[in-house]
Structure 1
């Protein structure tokens, strides 16, 4: 059976058009073991570089527009939405909870938007009941989370969880006067041309399905095609379709590790050794400490990543037991990044 090594060789030998045809089978063969080993309905892979159109491969029943719950890959989408709100001037990275929730417990008032998006707010990491509740609104959920107070002083502990991001989303609603769905459509869906992404992870209905209490750290559904536009924009330093979506400075700011030097209270086993930025894991840094590779994998295996040093953005679309699949996913991610990387010089 052909392997990823075969794929790398055919990329070297073929013209771009011929490579797409000659190399499709080896990559599909690389996806098949993942599908078979974990009893998946399918798997899809998308790789892109600045030098040509993205390449896509599918196994099983999946295609470019298969909608999947993406779990914690939602965090990157939320952070990018908030980054657009910051660039518009409606919020600042140092906007504080007390400015928007003056009735929240006084101890929470100093928490900043940056801390909420980097899991360094000091709020409890264990998921609040309202994150999974069908009733209420994002505002109701944020007030309930803040009412529980702090477990640590803001900015002193890294504790991975969804509570802080829920408060961040509610702050954005208050700052803009728009609910989360309207805000997400304005800042992400329309500018990037997303056609299969919303905040109803388990919905089966087509189109954009609204949710008054979206789980902004883990409740989105998306597609290979949609998330590919997101990682392409990040790889392009904030540009999409020839226009600025975010500034390069904002893209770099979001990728800076906020967990460095802090006590680690909660982090997934699969993220050992990684840092965390705003909505994204920091997987690698250069000799100067600048982030060069980021990702935002979800619990069901859906994995987007951007490797700036290699000049590669990738999305692996799957739905299964992410923790069990993680070793195979990480190997596929490394090998695919290496084979698609721009040549030195």
Structure 2
């Protein structure tokens, strides 16, 4: 049985000792935070997943309103452990794009023609919003081929003219990363810096993220972010608080979040998406809509990654959940659903 390390809120302040079980037996469930109840049912679900799949570690964090509902680190994953988050990158890429929109450097309806990336023809009218919501009709190139052909935003933009379209922009939805590479190049042009520098300047440095939190050399803007549980927790809470950092400083304007959190698929033909996304109701700017209201807004949003990172925000409950692991999402998807359900019940008082 992998060992468990459970970090309490007071640990960061040096007020409480670090608890590291020395036996092979599962650690006794303890409150994740002095101000929140213990959730043994969540701990048991996570420990069962670790046993079932032979996982080396798990980070599980939940915030309900202004309180920590649960915080646990298991095995070899701690608060500062850098992890590749795969498609959980897309949500954060959306924040970078929207930060530039808020500054007036880009608009969601900025077209490739306006950006100087396409002349006449169907590509000219593709908008930034379509690029960031997989409705641009650019090819749904897989991650390995994308890495080979379009490893950087600039490479994708340079080869835009050679890309075969899969339909008319706005009429097809195909979940992939190439369109976000093109969007990232538009951001680099508008922001006057490379993607990582924009991320650090607009989001990471103001939020106090670790230096290790950055896009790596693989999987592009749509899948290449490296972040620790502490880094991604701060990012998720920034979204949950609609642009406010934990200390109350405003990092991003509140009005960008309703624009992000709207379905942009509509009646488009779904040509390609992961099996784990079959139940998703729509897609916004870099995020999935797990639930959708009649007006197109998305009260429950998420951005699961292929390596098992699952950030989720339920605005109707003011409940933010972050699950991180080194695995494959299809292996742990049912376990994450069970953990999420247990956390929702706890938030609802069950």
In the superposition, the TM-score normalised over structure 2's length comes to: 0.83
Could you say which structure has the higher helix fraction? 1
The answer as to 2:224 corresponding to 1:175 is no
The answer as to 2:203 corresponding to 1:188 is yes
Per the TM alignment, residue 286 of structure 1 is displaced from its structure 2 partner at its CA by 4.0
From 164, 174, 181, the equivalent of 1:159 is: 174
Distance 2:294 2:243 in 1: 23
From 187, 197, 206, the equivalent of 2:213 is: 197
Deviates more, 1:299-308 or 1:328-337: 328-337
Tell me: CA distance 1:214–1:84, structure 2 relative to 1, closer, same or farther (3 Å). Answer: farther
Structure 2 counterparts to residues 36-75 of structure 1, below 5 A: 36-53=51-68, 55-75=70-90
Q: Give the corresponding residue for 1:220.
A: 225
Q: How many residues align?
A: 317
The answer as to 2:317 corresponding to 1:301 is no
From 237, 257, 269, the equivalent of 2:263 is: 257
From 125, 133, 144, the equivalent of 2:140 is: 125
Distance 1:101 1:224 in 2: 38
Distance 1:287 1:261 in 2: 14
Q: Give the corresponding residue for 2:50.
A: 35
Distance 1:146 1:319 in 2: 37
Per the TM alignment, residue 232 of structure 1 is displaced from its structure 2 partner at its CA by 0.9
The answer as to 2:136 corresponding to 1:110 is no
Q: Give the corresponding residue for 1:92.
A: 107
Per the TM alignment, residue 135 of structure 1 is displaced from its structure 2 partner at its CA by 9.2
RMSD: 2.5
Tell me: CA distance 1:232–1:98, structure 2 relative to 1, closer, same or farther (3 Å). Answer: same
Per the TM alignment, residue 27 of structure 1 is displaced from its structure 2 partner at its CA by 3.4
Deviates more, 1:229-238 or 1:99-108: 99-108
From 34, 42, 48, the equivalent of 1:17 is: 34
Per the TM alignment, residue 181 of structure 1 is displaced from its structure 2 partner at its CA by 1.4
Query: Any unmatched runs of 5+ in structure 2?
Result: 1-30
Three-state SS of the structure 2 residue aligned to 1:242 is coil
Distance 2:262 2:118 in 1: 32
Distance 2:251 2:320 in 1: 17
Q: Give the corresponding residue for 2:243.
A: 238
Asked if 2 retains the 8 angstrom alpha-carbon contact of 1:105 and 1:147, the reply is no
Deviates more, 1:248-257 or 1:136-145: 136-145
Structure 2 counterparts to residues 259-278 of structure 1, below 5 A: 259-274=265-280, 275-278=282-285
From 279, 295, 298, the equivalent of 1:291 is: 298
Q: Deviations for 1:75-115, whole angstroms, at most 9, x for unmatched residues? A: 00101110001101111111111222345674311110000
In the superposition, the TM-score normalised over structure 1's length comes to: 0.84
Q: Give the corresponding residue for 2:5.
A: none
Q: Deviations for 1:26-80, whole angstroms, at most 9, x for unmatched residues? A: 5333211111211211101011122224641012111111111111000001011
Distance 1:18 1:192 in 2: 24
The answer as to 2:98 corresponding to 1:83 is yes
